Structure 1
Amino acid sequence: MPHLDVHALESDLAGHETALIQHLTDAVVAVYGEWARTITVVRLTGLPPNRWGIGGTPAQAPSPSVTFGIKEAVFSRPDADEIVARLVSGVTDAIVDVFGERVRAGLMVEFVGAPAGRTGIGGVVVTP
């Protein structure tokens, strides 16, 4: 189940939530297929100004950052490099489509792999 946590300035997110959720979901579906649409989770976190620092000072206009939760097994597939590259490209393009080209250069997509048996839903550990 892909989980995308997006952090951006609240002022950048305001009014763009629906478009961003749709574009990010479409980016995941473009890589995995239509079956992934109903299980893709997008969480948007808006930060107020001065609560995002870079280099020891509050950032003036930081690019969004994305933490992409994914099953760890994907990284051992023979096509792992291609999958990751396509996801990075698609997620980046989705965010640029919503926020504009100014965010591309600093936009970070970080993958966090969940090992099999290390995720729980509804109080139960999900097993492979």
Structure 2
Amino acid sequence: MPHLDVHVLENDLAGRETELIKKLTDAVATVYGDWARSIAVVRLIGIPPNRWGIGGEPAQAPAPGVTFGIKEVAFGRPDADDLVARLVSGVTDALVDVFGERVRSGVTVELVGTPAGRSGVGGVVDPR
């Protein structure tokens, strides 16, 4: 199940939540297939101004950052390099569609793999 946690300045996020959720879900479905649309989880985390720092100073206009949680087994696929490239590109493009080209060069997308048996839903460990 793909999980995307998006950190963005609250002021930039306000009023764009629905569009951003849709675009990020579309990006996931484009890479994995339409079956993934219904299980893609997007969590938007708005950060108040002056609570995001870069280089020891409050950031003036930081680009969004995304932590993208996926099953670790995906990194062992024969097409893993292509999968990673398409996910990073698609998520970045979705953020640019919503926030504008100014964010592209600073967008970070971190793919984090969860090993089999190290996650659960509803109080039950998922063995996959």
Q: What range describes the TM-score normalised by the shorter chain of this pair?
A: over 0.9
1:120 partner SS: strand
Q: CA shift at 1:127, angstroms?
A: 1.0
For residue 27 of structure 1, report the CA deviation from its aligned partner.
0.2
- The aligned runs of 1:1-128 (5 Å cut-off) are 1-128=1-128
Q: How many residues align?
A: 128
What's the % identity of the aligned pairs?
A: 75
In the alignment, structure 1 segments of 5+ residues that lack a partner are: none
| TM-superposed deviation, 1:64 | 0.3
Alpha-carbon distance in structure 2 between the residues aligned to 1:5 and 1:31: 18
Runs of 4+ in 1 over 3 A off after TM superposition: none
Secondary structure at the aligned position of 1:66 is classed as: strand
CA-based RMSD: 0.4
TM-score with structure 2 setting the length: 0.99
- Could you give the per-residue CA deviations for residues 65-103 of structure 1, whole angstroms, max 9, x where no partner exists? 000000000001110000000000000000000000000
Residue segments in structure 2 that go unaligned for 5+ positions in a row? none
Deviations 1:18-45 (A, max 9, x none): 0000000000000000100000000000
